[in-house]
Amino acid sequence: MRLSVVLAATTPGAPAERCLLRVTYDPRGPASTTGGGAARPGQLPLRAQQPAPVTDRSFDEALDAAHAWAAGQAGYPRGGELTWRLTHRDGRPVTEVGGGSLGASMATALSFLLILHKSARRPVDPEAVLSATVDPAGLLGPVSHIDTKVTALAAPRLRLGLALADHGTAERARPGSQPALSPLVSVAEAVRHTRLPRSWRLAAVVMASVTALGTGGWAWHQQDVNARARQERGVSDLLARTDAALSSAPECAASFALRARELRPGAEDTRARLLAAAYSDPRLRDVLPLDAPGGAVAYTPDGRSLAVAAGAGVRVYDAGGKKLLARMPLLKNDQVTFLVPLGDRGLLAMATSQGTVRLWDPAAPASPARLLADEKRELTALAASPDGARLAWSGADPTVTVTTIGAAGTATAAGSRRLPVKGSSLNSLAFTSAETLVVGSSSSQSGAPSLQALDLTGRAPLRTLQLGGGPLRMNGIGAIAVQPSRHRMLTGNIGGTLKVWDTRTMKATRIPQSRAGRASGVGALALSTDGRTALVARNNGVGPTGGSSMNTVQAWDLEQRRPMESTYFGSRFAFTAFLALRPATNEASIITTSAAVTFWRPPRKPTFDRPVMSVLTDPLHETSALVLDFDGTLTRVRAGDGTTTTVLRSRRASAHALSMALSPGHDMLAISHSDATVGLFSYPEGRFLRTLVAPAPTSLYRIAFAPGGDRLAAGGGPGAIYQWNPGTGKPLGTLPHRGSVAWVSFTEQGNRLVAAYRDGDANLVAGSGTPRPVRTTQSRYGWGSAVPDGAGGFYVGFADGRLARYTGKLEPVRDLPVQHTTGVSAMALSPDTHLLATTSRNEDDTLLTDPGTGAVLLRLPGTDIPGGKASPFFHGGYVSLAFTADGHHLVLGTTSGHTEVVHLAEDALRSRVGRLATTKGSPTASASDLRCS
């Protein structure tokens, strides 16, 4: 009669996978076994069943200790043989076993094998089985003193209970599940065949069943607890890695956040990281993963496709990087370092690390790139003329090679010309026209010029372009960008100076910069097709090919000679290598030394004359919001795709729009102005109804409808609050001057008006008849903004940045644990009241908070406009915000006249973050697959 015990053990080498340890006793001895040494006196042979795994010394010592302990127990058999085998759950043998902790598992198995041998005469199942969970570190602890550690498991009352789990079910069970127990009749049958006295059998049946259930439950509970603990540790690690990668590697942050969300789907912290990864910079549109570090990026002249060099190959995508159009056969033992399109010919020219120049036709992607020249030297620059008829390249030596390209895409019979230039360390080439080539050098030593112009017709001598300004050693060129059709060239040197050139006269205009900009070397440039917008890549105080502590890309308005927005990209580690602006749309594509192309929305020019003043939920279009700008234009913004529609224009000759409100019936829109007037319009038609005029000249910054729609209140800068009947235009009274009004609102019942002032006071005002204060509440700091909480009260923001909740009677309920560093200027509550959005005009950041717990789900940075007007109002920060009616989007307006949209729906978030994660398929790929650490 063969007996075996099976334990669901965990090996030190594979802690994430439970394995099955089977120990078998055969009184006749097995037919064929292998492994194991000779038995000691008094011990049966203990061998590993074939195929025997590779074991280490600590495991062998633990196995010997367990066997020696078992041999000293009463009931140890005098004949036969013991064998053991360790397999995976699917039956595959474990090939390597290490560590002494598994010895405790072996001791447990041997102890129960002895129990079965001692008690069973004729069991129903000849392979009665034990199924238990053993901790990776050894549930019984070290093998030493194993006699005391197994005593509890060998207690008589446990002998039958733990030996009666169903073997087949236990082996088929998944890790973490509770093994099913045999039916009670099987337990009774097993007890009937034991040596127990007949009077003990019923008690033994009950005891065995209860013990088996309890032990199985304990094992299942321990497995579940351990699994949850491992998962929590994994999630915490992913959240920390998300936070660390947000600014320097957005694609890695996106991947980590997705994996954390998969492990903990409904938690606030994983949703917060998902939002942070999606909107660490709302201008970031997409990320295109590459198989190798990128070497170059270039749009075709029509802007319809994007060519990307990565490693030994070139790929052509659609302009958004979503569809692969063509793939060049890989080069052998070579890397593509430069890539330029040959005008509108459809050909791509490239230079490689081995010094070759090649041409490739994406229309015939299976054809390899044709060899045009083999320079057998390192090439430092490559450029093509606007018409694609000439191609030029250079190395570190003071010569430039120019080749004429025929219609068939081959060099003409005239061949190549090698033209001498002054100086050394050539690193930049650019055609300003079909006949003029500009050459840049990163070195200005020995008086050699950094910028020279070659007349390729030979009619004019080599011309030196005077850079001027700054020490000579800092005049070395870092990058050149040209837009020939606009006769414009942009140069940047290693000292950080930017200059705009008129290529017809070669006269330059220096762009004024901050001290930080002057100290940051220019490493790469890109120009828009109209020559008005540029991308400038810098690295602080280091040459154009070196590392740096901080690298940035910024968009510049070359007409206004100032930056357009805050930096597009910032990294403490990766030097920005290649830039491109898509023709017509100006969408930016950036390759860094990481293996990815990042896509950004077009840089925006600030419209300081038309800042956004107010944003409202559009109740009639659930995916849209209403946006009011400074000149009175009301626009509907569809949040899904960003399309806009003009609804109406409320313009006055000498006044500006300041605020707006919709009536509760959604049929009337009120817009307040700086000349003490309120314009009323039908909604959604936009038809003008009437004008309400305040009795005193004031700017009406705050406006609100009563819940019944029968009253309209507006607050002014001097502090007076006026009320009208919007249906008739009749004045309903004036609340006298009290101070500068922060916000006005009606209580849920509509019989009280709440008026809050920036000096810290707030009045609850009777709404009928002559306005009169019925309650005054004073705050230590001034009131900033408020929004109804959906339960009759208000969420309130203060001038010191605090957030709190108040009742409709202005009684404080509680402070929220989160706050801004400066005064709260606008607030919005989602339709389901689960999200609170707040912004601070001076702080620039917008917070998205769970008002129930106070947890911050997203801190959205403002799109600051460097060089804006001196007033803090006109600097590009968020000034107003609103949720769409479906609650799936948050629309924000800025003082620079633009809007941003944050998508909040789970599927939209996952889609955006999935696109940002540089994966090779599944968005939950491992960090090693992502090249993220």
Residue 581 has pLDDT above 80, yes or no: yes
Peptide bond into 866 cis (omega under 30): no
**Structure confidence at residue 276 (pLDDT):** 86
487: left (phi over 0), alpha (psi -120 to 50) or beta: left
**CA dist 916 → 4, 100, 248, 288, 348 (Å):** 54, 45, 13, 8, 28
The mean-pLDDT minimum among 105-114, 471-480, 615-624, 749-758 falls in 105-114
**Structure confidence at residue 654 (pLDDT):** 75
- Give strand pairing partners of 438: 430, 453
- Give the position of tokens 């860094």: 592
Cα 451 to chain centroid distance, Å, stands at 41
- Measured distance between the N- and C-terminal CA atoms of the chain, rounded to whole angstroms: 56
Between CA 550 and CA 540 the distance in angstroms is: 6
CA angle 829-880-601, nearest 5°?
105
**CA dist 233 → 226, 236, 457 (Å):** 11, 5, 69
**Structure confidence at residue 688 (pLDDT):** 93
**CA dist 420 → 379, 414, 463 (Å):** 15, 18, 12
Q: What is the percent of the chain with per-residue pLDDT over 90, rounded to a whole number?
A: 24
User: Pick from 913, 745, 753: which is nearest to 829 by CA?
Assistant: 745
Structure tokens at 374: 């083999």
User: What is the pairing mode between strands 54-55 and 96-97?
Assistant: parallel
Between CA 669 and CA 651 the distance in angstroms is: 15
- Contact between 76 and 67 under an 8 Å Cβ cutoff? The reply is no
Between CA 526 and CA 725 the distance in angstroms is: 57
Q: What is the DSSP letter of 367?
A: S
Structure tokens at 218: 């304990």
Q: Which helix (H) or strand (E) holds 909?
A: helix 906-916
Between CA 220 and CA 132 the distance in angstroms is: 9
- pLDDT tens per residue, range 81-131: 888 887 776 677 877 776 655 655 666 666 656 655 554 443 434 444 443
Average pLDDT of the segment spanning 346-375: 92
Q: Which residue has the higher pLDDT, 140 or 338?
A: 338
**Structure confidence at residue 526 (pLDDT):** 92
Confidence of residue 185 (pLDDT cuts 50, 70, 90): very low
Residue 44 has pLDDT above 70, yes or no: yes
CA dihedral 686, 692, 697, 703 (to 10 degrees): -70
- Contact between 822 and 801 under an 8 Å Cβ cutoff? The reply is yes
- Contact between 781 and 797 under an 8 Å Cβ cutoff? The reply is no
**Structure confidence at residue 725 (pLDDT):** 94
**CA dist 360 → 321, 341, 348 (Å):** 20, 10, 5
Residue 76 has pLDDT above 80, yes or no: no
- Contact between 295 and 309 under an 8 Å Cβ cutoff? The reply is yes
Between CA 655 and CA 28 the distance in angstroms is: 106
Mean pLDDT comparison of 303-307, 451-455, 920-924, highest-scoring range: 303-307
Average pLDDT of the segment spanning 867-894: 76
Residue 221 has pLDDT above 70, yes or no: no
Average pLDDT of the segment spanning 331-355: 91
User: Pick from 145, 139, 142: which is nearest to 59 by CA?
Assistant: 142
- pLDDT tens per residue, range 605-614: 766 668 899 9
User: 3-state DSSP call for residue 840?
Assistant: coil
**Structure confidence at residue 133 (pLDDT):** 36
Residue 501 has pLDDT above 70, yes or no: yes
**Structure confidence at residue 682 (pLDDT):** 94
The mean-pLDDT minimum among 548-552, 868-872, 894-898, 919-923 falls in 919-923
- pLDDT tens per residue, range 439-452: 988 875 556 678 88
Confidence of residue 548 (pLDDT cuts 50, 70, 90): very low
**Structure confidence at residue 458 (pLDDT):** 76
Mean pLDDT comparison of 504-518, 559-573, 911-925, highest-scoring range: 504-518
Residue 920 has pLDDT above 60, yes or no: no
Pairs from 31-40 (Cβ < 8 Å, separation ≥ 24): 33/81, 33/83, 40/68, 40/71
- Contact between 502 and 487 under an 8 Å Cβ cutoff? The reply is yes
- pLDDT tens per residue, range 239-262: 888 888 776 677 778 888 888 888
**CA dist 887 → 271, 614, 619, 874, 880 (Å):** 16, 18, 11, 29, 17
Residue 12 has pLDDT above 50, yes or no: no
User: Pick from 246, 243, 320, 244: which is nearest to 281 by CA?
Assistant: 246
Residue 351 has pLDDT above 90, yes or no: yes
Between CA 933 and CA 926 the distance in angstroms is: 10
Confidence of residue 424 (pLDDT cuts 50, 70, 90): confident
Mean pLDDT comparison of 25-34, 282-291, 563-572, highest-scoring range: 282-291
Between CA 918 and CA 14 the distance in angstroms is: 29
Between CA 905 and CA 541 the distance in angstroms is: 43
Strand blocks (E) in 674-782: 677-682, 688-693, 700-705, 712-716, 721-724, 731-735, 741-746, 752-757, 761-766, 772-778
User: 3-state DSSP call for residue 499?
Assistant: strand
**Structure confidence at residue 863 (pLDDT):** 61
Between CA 529 and CA 896 the distance in angstroms is: 24
- pLDDT tens per residue, range 631-650: 899 999 999 888 899 999 88
Averaged confidence pLDDT in the chain = 75
Q: What is the pTM of this model?
A: 0.67
User: Pick from 8, 28, 101, 95: which is nearest to 62 by CA?
Assistant: 101
